[in-house]
């Protein structure tokens, strides 16, 4: 497969928010960012994009995190296998989407610690998919294709085969002909360490 013969018509958002943030030493999902938590901020961005459904995959500290998201127009999915790494949350979110929203033919996968993602960026992924016909559109920063990324449903089976803590980047490198990219230089700022968080607070 090198291209998609139909454009994505119904696009979901899957936010990966199940990890332990071991390098940070605390749940990055719950870090204050403005008058919200980092995860609430990212969830608001996803909801503001108009894409639906918005799915948040939670695991570590799931009860406290779920409480923060109560009342928002999103679906929370629990990943009991979160300790495996990012791939387990991708599989969990995609399986849930396929089961409960079979008419949805695309999904944006994003994380909770890229605070400069915008609703416009998420919609730009979809516009670029329509223009390119590619099954993947990935945000690009520092010369690397990464997340947030949009996947056509034809690649959902590949996402369900991911293992470990490497996400979908291996798919990008194995099949670059499937991938369109859009520029997102702020994507290189994510929150893995206390130093990262201090840098974010200075923006």
| Residue-level pLDDT, tens digit, the chain, 203 residues | 445 458 999 999 999 999 886 555 557 788 888 888 999 999 999 999 999 999 999 999 999 999 999 999 999 999 999 999 999 999 999 999 999 999 999 999 999 888 899 999 999 999 999 999 999 999 999 888 999 999 999 999 999 999 988 788 888 889 999 999 999 988 766 656 556 655 555 55
pLDDT at 34: 82
- Which CATH number describes the domain made up of 11-201? 3.90.550.10
> Which residues, at least 6 apart from 44, have a Cβ–Cβ distance to it below 8 Å?
36, 72
Model pLDDT, residue 2:
47
Phi–psi pair at 13, nearest 5 degrees: -125, 130
DSSP 14: E
Q: Are 165 and 83 in contact (CB under 8 A)?
A: no
Q: What is the chain's Cα-based Rg?
A: 16
Structural domain spans, the chain? 11-201
pLDDT score, position 195: 65
Give the pLDDT of residue 149: 97
Q: What does the pLDDT read at residue 1?
A: 47
Strand blocks (E) in the chain: 11-17, 32-33, 36-37, 54-58, 75-78, 106-111, 136-141, 144-152, 179-183
Alpha helices in 135-178 (DSSP H): 156-159, 169-174
Both structure tokens of 142 = 């520092």
Q: Structure pTM? A: 0.91
pLDDT, residue 189, reads 67
pLDDT value, residue 198: 57
């Amino acid at each position: 497969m090198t291209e998609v013969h139909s454009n994505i018509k119904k696009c979901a958002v899957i936010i990966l928010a199940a990890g332990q943030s071991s390098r940070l030493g605390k749940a990055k999902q719950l870090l204050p960012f403005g008058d919200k938590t980092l995860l609430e901020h990212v969830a608001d961005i996803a909801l503001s994009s108009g894409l639906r459904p918005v799915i948040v995959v939670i695991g570590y500290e799931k009860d406290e995190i779920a409480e923060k998201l109560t009342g928002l127009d999103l679906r929370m999915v629990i990943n009991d296998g979160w300790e495996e790494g990012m791939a387990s949350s991708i599989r969990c979110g995609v399986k849930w989407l396929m089961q409960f929203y079979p008419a949805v033919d695309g999904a944006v996968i994003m994380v909770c610690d890229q605070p400069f993602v915008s609703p416009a960026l998420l919609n730009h992924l979809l516009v670029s998919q329509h223009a390119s016909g590619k099954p993947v559109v990935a945000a690009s920063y520092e010369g690397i294709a990464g997340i947030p990324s949009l996947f056509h449903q034809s690649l959902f089976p590949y996402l369900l085969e991911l293992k470990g803590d490497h996400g979908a980047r291996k798919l990008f490198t194995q099949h670059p002909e499937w991938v369109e990219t859009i520029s997102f230089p702020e994507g290189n700022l994510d929150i893995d360490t206390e130093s990262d968080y201090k840098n974010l607070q200075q923006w």
